[in-house]
Amino acid sequence: TQWSIKLLNSWSFSMGSAYQFHSWRVFVVVCALPCVCAVVALTFMPESPRFYLEVGKHDEAWMILKQIHDTNMRARGQPEKVFTVNRIKIPKQLDELVEMETESGNPVSKFFFRIKTEIHGIYLNLMKCFNYPMRENMTRLAIVWFTLSFGYYGLSVWFPDVIKHLQADDYASKVKIHNNERIEDFTFNFTLENQIHKNGLFINDRFIHMKLRSVTFIDSTFHNCYFDDVTSVGSFFRNCTFIEAFFFNTDIDESKLVDGTEVVNSTFTHNKTGCQMTFDDDYSAYWVYFINFLGTLAVLPGNIVSALLMDKIGRLSMLGGSMVLSGISCFFLWFGTSESMMIFMLCLYNGLSISAWNSLDVVTTESFPTVRRGTGFGFCNALCKLAAVLGNLIFGSLVGITKAIPILMASSVLVGGGLVALRLPDTRANVLM
């Protein structure tokens, strides 16, 4: 772990004196790389045959269908089969509708009519998703999407914050308190960490090449003290007095001198600017990424299991079973009194819930005919994002207040959503229309 931290710290460079490219920025850049690769890969993917038919490019649509057929036949060991088309139902092209509506063919009118037609078409498609015989299945799908997203994203925010809260409580329990100390003509050239100094008197002391980590001085006086190359993280001077002090190359400024701290006949020169924090200074900064890495790594077994067993045990059994097991696993959070236990529960929860996500994607895709598949899937995804926002807000507001409400809420919605998922029709044998 220490090697990993030092490796992260080595990934940095500075631009001038005030800006440093620290590892968290490298983390963000690395996270953006898959998106960039996906955009590049999209340029090599063929268009949808239905889109080609809608815009009148029938030959291109036929070629794409032939490529799909040939690829599937080769995978089945029957490359000699010839692609044939008996009948293609061609949808009415939008440009024809525009021309029929606007006799003059004015570009502006065509543009606005195109937008109006698209919006109206989406609305009609969405309404058809809630018409008989799809209404009942659509309602169940919406409930499953909402409950799974609410529980998953709510707990994904709650887990790291609870772990951080446990770390903070453990760290605060080890704080060292010094009262009424008098230190005179002493050189501090080492790190002070997790300490509280009350009613202290520092005379002719030197603070040189040192760091203050979570150190608070309260009602203390610094007389004729010298501060040189001092970096502070989470440290404050509360209601303190500085008399004839000299600050050189430090990050001590108004944000650290709080609650009535007075500075008398003191000098500040060459103050540090920019972010001075490193992972060595604040271990929790690294820990946030490490916890997310472990949680993400835990979904790998779930992805493998769902890919191998989905057709064998069925979509609904995997979807409902995974959601119910995820909800049951939440109850074990009652016993999560340490960060190691909470991290284990996070990995277990992510590993169980990923199978539900994979199954739900397949079930949703197979539940709609082609003409309504994009609209239905898009509506469910929009509902998913709404549930994610609500989950983040509600679960995030309960961090450090109570464990009972988040645990009961997540368990109930996941188990309830899993039971609803078991009532969905089995789409394993469905032929996509």
Higher pLDDT, 341 or 247: 247
Q: Is the pLDDT of residue 101 over 70?
A: no
pLDDT bracket for residue 228 (50, 70, 90): very high
How many other CB atoms are there within 10 angstroms of residue 303's CB atom? Answer: 14
Q: Which residues contact 281 (CB under 8 A, 6 or more apart)?
A: 211, 213, 231, 233
122 phi, psi to nearest 5 deg: -65, -45
Indicate the range of 95-99, 377-381, 392-396, 422-426 predicted with least confidence. 95-99
Amino acid in the structure at residue 261: T
Q: Is the pLDDT of residue 136 over 80?
A: yes
pLDDT bracket for residue 284 (50, 70, 90): low
What's the pLDDT score for residue 14? 44
Higher pLDDT, 145 or 309: 145
What are residue 237's DSSP bridge partners? 217, 257
Render pLDDT for 31-75 as a digit per residue (tens, 0 to 9): 889 999 999 998 888 888 877 887 778 888 888 888 888 888 888
Alpha helices in 15-93 (DSSP H): 23-42, 49-54, 58-75
pLDDT bracket for residue 262 (50, 70, 90): very high
- Tokens matching residue 352: 């169980």
Mean pLDDT of 361-390: 86
Residues of the chain with pLDDT > 70: what percent?
84
86 SS3 class: coil
